[in-house]
Homo-oligomer: A and B are copies of this chain.
Amino acid sequence: MQNLIFSNQVQAAVEQSAARGNHNMTVWIADANTANFLPESAVNVITIPDGDAAKSLPTVCRVWDEMQRLGVTRHSLVINLGGGMVTDLGGFAAATFKRGVRFINVPTTLLGAVDAAVGGKTGFNYGGLKNEVGAFAPASDVIISTRYFDTLPASEMKSGFAEVIKHSMLSDRTEFLRLLDHDFTAPIDHDDLLERLRRSVQVKVDIVGHDPHEHGEREALNLGHTAGHAFEALALQRGTPVPHGYAVAWGLVTEAVLSHLRLGFSSDDVHRLGAFVRDNYRDFPFTCDDYDELLQLMRHDKKSRNGEITCTLLEAIGNYRLGQTVDCDDMTAALDILRDHLGL
């Protein structure tokens, strides 16, 4: 299983993790941005371009080529320093080079820390599809800190925070309510945020532990994502992409509304969530003219079965139900109510 280390003493944590193996070499993988965070002691560095467009086979080949040039063996250690793109792609390259080199993830974004870096999904985009090629290959260690977040744009903090809220909705109402008090304009309280991350990541780890290869319970993590992916995909098609977590935030409200309509989920909680999303993720770029296209996208979601819209829904915070099929009328009603919540 994965070792999770929550610490803002990143260098010490990395050294401790590295010392747990008898490695002949340590190689860092960073992107053009996160290269700034490399420690001075990093000698062997593979730098890749940043951004989702570079999450591609040519970049994977560049990493394999550099690994060969540096003489990486099965006894070497790879450290991925970056957001989800670096940990997904670097993890795949390490997991497949010589059929597997040990790797550690050091996520530098909130979204990476609570989502991509943990749980073993690696891969890259191929043939126009996101994460079309990849492997389930957990990092041996994930070192989670908040020390890189001070320079993150507010939109990236918010984007990651949507996944933190999602995890609380799957597990713990006290934590959920506490998160809704978060103020993105205040300076980061590192100790408090690290504690929030610890709780959030544990939710994912518990679910993934029961279902590492996504045959069942892992689908719980899809909460908010059936609607969320449709928002994200439609915005991308139009050339006006939205951050992943914004789409998830809107998706969470949509699916909380559906949970209320279908499973009696508390309307108080829907309203609390709706107010938080209205205050922090307002710029929802869709109207009722987009419903047909959104429903179409939801029917083609990866998790969809036989062309039916399928969601994870909640009876209550912490009590989820997988594989709920939703008809178009209910989804349309939920989208209307979402727009009400956002004040549009």
Residues of A within 8 A of B (CB): 57, 61, 64-65, 68, 95-100, 121, 123, 126-127, 129, 131-136, 213-214
Contact = CB atoms under 8 A, between A and B. Distances in A.
A61 B68 contact: no
Given A127-B64, A127-B68, A129-B68, A136 B99 contact: yes
A133 B135 CA distance: 13
Contacts of A129: 68
A99 B61 contact: no
- Copies of this chain in the oligomer: 2
Given A64-B126, A65-B127, A100 B133 contact: no
Contact of A99 (B64, B97, B121): B121
Nearest to A120: B99
A123 B135 contact: no
A97 B133 CA distance: 5
A70 to B, nearest CB: 12
A134 B95 CA distance: 8
Given A64-B126, A97-B133, 19 more contacts: A57-B61, A64-B127, A64-B133, A68-B127, A68-B129, A95-B135, A96-B123, A96-B133, A96-B134, A98-B132, A98-B133, A98-B134, A99-B121, A99-B123, A99-B131, A99-B134, A99-B214, A100-B135, A100-B213
